[in-house]
Structure 1
Amino acid sequence: MSPSRPLRLLMDARYTRTDFHDGISRYGASLTEAVAHRAAAERGEGVDVEVAILISDERQLALLPKGVPWHRVSGPTSSREPFVARQVARLRPDVVFSPMQTMGSWGRRHALILTLHDLIYYEHRTPPQNLPEPIRWLWRAYHLTMTPQRLLLDRADAVATVSRTTADLIAAHRLTRRPVDVIANAAQPVPRPRDPEEAPERTLLYMGSFMDYKDVESLVDAAPLLPGYALHLLSRIDPARRAQLQERLEARRAAVGEDGAEVVFHDGTDEAEYVRLLRRATAAVTLSRAEGFGLPVAEAMAHGTPVVCSDLPIFREIAGAGTPSFRGVPLEGDRAAALAARVRELEDPAVFAAASRAGVAQAARFSWDESARRLLELTRELGQARRAEAPRAARGRRGRSSR
């Protein structure tokens, strides 16, 4: 094998949605686009890298970068997943990057990078509702102890994660013997953030799931305390969960004696509408009790929209603790009242403008191009090491066969 042949990097895009992105889908698609662009720009400057995509459904291509070669294999929740490396082998990759930690690796000959986004489900064990019921049962069993996680991560050549906060947690729990690299999440580039001097609409946006640990209840509880505002809950929601939150809202309004903010359930929104609402809002809000990164926080700041968020280590990292862009709400006490107080602070034009400008500067610390640079650096390191080992392994196999 010629050492001058470009390294082949396969980006596992089988977690890409077919309608609109969730967090994992956006991370994988955005990173793939940045990696393909940077690899093309760096061609001829060192060890070249050829980038291709793995999909399981051709409809995923609608949300993936155009012009990048793709290959179809079985899906990540298929019974064939433990052996997917056999399907991948025919593509002769040097390195495979997966945006999750569960990619099958039995029989692989390529270097493998697995991604662990967070440790949320060890504390909050309810699995995502969109998973098939058998997978949900496996999910629960998997998160009973950290042993399965360690076994999965140690199968890889390297482990990626999306934030320094999660990297520190991985180290604290000794989850892997493999090197851990931060290949961070990031907001999409914003050519021109909103004017920080322009008065915002009295609207608040929540973009995220309605799982228990997200504490959407405290957002709903805050609504009666904010007359004149509208709280937009943007994501898709199960009808039973929506009815539960609406019932809570009515009880809260009766207790407070004030209707307060209008609460609008969007049940999903497209990218254009999300950005339109975001650039007019007083703030993006989240009182989540756990996150791996908090992409909606970074997205809001990139557009110049202030954020009111839980006082979590991850939000201190992403939103910039100690700067005007970080408006934290304690994890205990009356969280609804604390949120409402933080929102009212932004009614001061000077406070709003300072938070807007600081958010733009903070969001710029995370970029897809920098994440792509790190992944390509890791790809070259692992790919060249794998090629150097191949002749020795081949000699070993010949030696055994001659005995």
Structure 2
Amino acid sequence: MTTAASTLLVDARVLHASGLGRYLRELLAEWLRDPPFRSIELLGDPDALGAFLDAHPTGASVRVVPHAGRVYSARSQWSWLAARLARGARERVTFFPHWDVPLALFPRRSVVTVHDITPFRVPDAFTPGKRALGRPMLRHAVRRATRVVCVGQATASDLGEWFPSVARKLVAVPNGVSQRFFGRPPGPPPLDESYVLCVGNQKPHKNLGAAVDVLAALRPQFPSLRLVVAGGRDTPTPIARARAAELGLGDAVVELGAVDDDLLHRCYAGAAALLFPSRYEGFGLPVVEAMAAGAPVVASSTPAVREVVGGAAPVYDPDDVRGMAAEVRTLLTDPTLRATRIADGRERASQFSWARAARETARVLHDAAGEARAPARRPLTAERA
């Protein structure tokens, strides 16, 4: 797929983050397999990038550009400035997989991916300091970028609603799902008992308190049922644990913290259901991964999740604990319906591909390389989600 465009610079600092890291790793793996540019520069930690490149041989010319400083840090901004001055004005297009972008000397040709607009839609998900930084940085990123990739139509609509002036540059490119989740899990489930699974961090908008309430509604009929929570802990007192303590269900909630891909696959494959009651999402990757792995999904009716589910699983208002509990109860007692939900979910998940996401994102990058800050080839008008 290589064309006349010379160099792609990829901001790879989030290579080993959870959600953002998976997005970046999957795209990079595809681009190294089928290089979209003659030369690729990866900006980030040399050791981490070196290990990643060793695991993904490529025919492209690849160079690692060391970059110091954590995301959102002043040191990182200084590193951006120094690197840009050192490289000069050489023609390249820059890909940012997230909106943590340089505030000075912004690249002339660039593509920024926006996964959600949580700083605007759910400001309480951030500390005051991060909120004060995140909102202007996201605004800066989408206004200065040549193109903006959104991980779904719901996110594109959200962004267009908040920033109508950038609607012409928005391009919806849905995330994919790793093929590993369609295969046999690499081991047994994390628990012997039946469990409902939640995947994600514990920020308030993830609504894990409602998941515990669903468990409480089911325990009288299924006294050994447990709730497994997989994901980083983003609050001083994890919400699921706190709500379980209030209801006297402390021993029924198992918090695994951050998990690797093997354990995540085992969690999905062994779950009675994935419960995803989030109040706001930009995409909802755990929903697609769970469907691929054969876990029936019970999800919230937020626009991005509805878009991803596509009718393959029931959706409920995030506050409808009774409805979600009734659905899980049916999945536990009706094997025929359960089999139908699993089959429908796998069919839906098969429609998401990281290879396609990489190809479509590469096309956006070539659009950006061809004409800086011009309208996207496939514009999206601003609309409400």
1:164 aligns with 2:153: yes
Q: Which residue of 2 aligns with 1:277?
A: 267
Runs of 4+ with deviation above 6 angstroms: none
SS of alignment partner, residue 209 of structure 2:
helix
1:152 and 1:218, CA in 2 relative to 1: closer, same or farther beyond 3 A?
Answer: same
Aligned amino acid, residue 29 of structure 1: R
Residues 348-401 of structure 1: per-residue CA shift (max 9 Å, x gap): 112111111111111122211111111221222222336xxxxxxxxxxxxxxx
SS at match of 2:124: coil
- Measured in 1, the distance between the counterparts of 2:282 and 2:66 equals 29
Aligned to 2:12: 13
d(CA) in 1 for partners of 2:104 and 2:136? Answer: 19
Matched-pair contact (CA < 8 Å) for 1:222–1:340: yes
2:253 to 223, 244, 263: 263
What is the alpha-carbon root mean square deviation over aligned residues? 3.0
SS, match of residue 346 in structure 1: helix
- Bigger radius of gyration: 1
Alignment equivalent of 2:31, drawn from 35, 38, 45: 35
Hey, what does 2:377 align to over in structure 1?
Answer: none
Cα distance 1:191–1:233, how it changes in 2: closer, same or farther (>3 A)? closer
Residue by residue, what CA displacement relative to the aligned partner does 1:179-199 show, whole Å, maximum 9, x if unpaired?
A: 11123222211374569xxxx
Q: Name the amino acid aligned to 1:206.
A: C
Unmatched runs of 5 consecutive residues or more in structure 2? 186-191, 373-385
Whether 1:140 aligns to 2:136 is no
> Alpha-carbon deviations, 1:44-74, whole Å to 9, x = none?
xxxx543231114634655676345422123
Shift of 1:209: 0.6
Q: Show the counterpart of 1:344.
A: 329
Distance 1:370 1:89 in 2: 35
1:309 to 284, 296, 299: 299
Amino acid at match of 1:343: V
The residue that corresponds to 2:65 in the other structure is: 71
The answer for the alignment partner of 2:379 in structure 1 is none
Query: What is the CA-CA distance between 1:337 and the residue it aligns to?
Result: 2.3
Residue 123 to residue 169, structure 1, CA distance change in 2 (3 Å): closer
Amino acid at match of 1:33: A
SS of the residue corresponding to residue 107 of structure 1 reads: coil
In structure 2, the residue matched to 1:100 is: 98
SS at match of 1:190: helix
Could you tell me which amino acid in structure 2 is paired with residue 96 of structure 1? T
Give the counterpart letter for 2:289 in structure 1.
E
Q: Does the CA contact (< 8 Å) of 1:10 and 1:97 recur in 2?
A: yes
Structure 1: where are the runs of 5+ without partners?
41-47, 129-135, 254-258, 387-403
Higher relative contact order (CA 8 A, sep 6+): 2
Equivalent of 1:180 in 166, 170, 185: 170
2-structure distance, mates of 1:379, 1:305: 35
Query: Do 2:198 and 2:227's aligned partners in 1 also have CA atoms closer than 8 Å?
Result: yes
How many residues matched? Answer: 350
In structure 2, give the amino acid aligned to 1:171: G
1:361 alignment partner in structure 2: 347
The secondary structure found in structure 2 opposite 1:97 is strand
For 2:144 and 2:245, how far apart are their aligned partners in 1? 51
Summarize the alignment of residues 2-401 of structure 1 with structure 2, pairs less than 5 Å apart. Answer: 6-17=5-16, 21-39=17-35, 48-56=37-45, 58-59=47-48, 61-62=50-51, 66-67=56-57, 69-75=63-69, 76-82=71-77, 84=80, 86-88=82-84, 90-91=86-87, 92=90, 94-104=92-102, 106-108=104-106, 110-127=108-125, 136-142=127-133, 149-177=138-166, 179-190=169-180, 192-193=182-183, 202-226=194-218, 227=222, 228-237=224-233, 240-242=236-238, 245-253=240-248, 262-320=252-310, 323=311, 325-332=312-319, 335-347=320-332, 348-385=334-371
Report the TM-score when normalising by structure 2.
0.80
Alpha carbons of structure 1 residues 214 and 238: separation in structure 2 relative to 1, 3 Å = closer
Contact 2:94/2:107 (8 A) holds in 1: no
**Residues 36 and 247 of structure 1: CA distance in aligned 2, closer, same or farther (over 3 Å):** closer
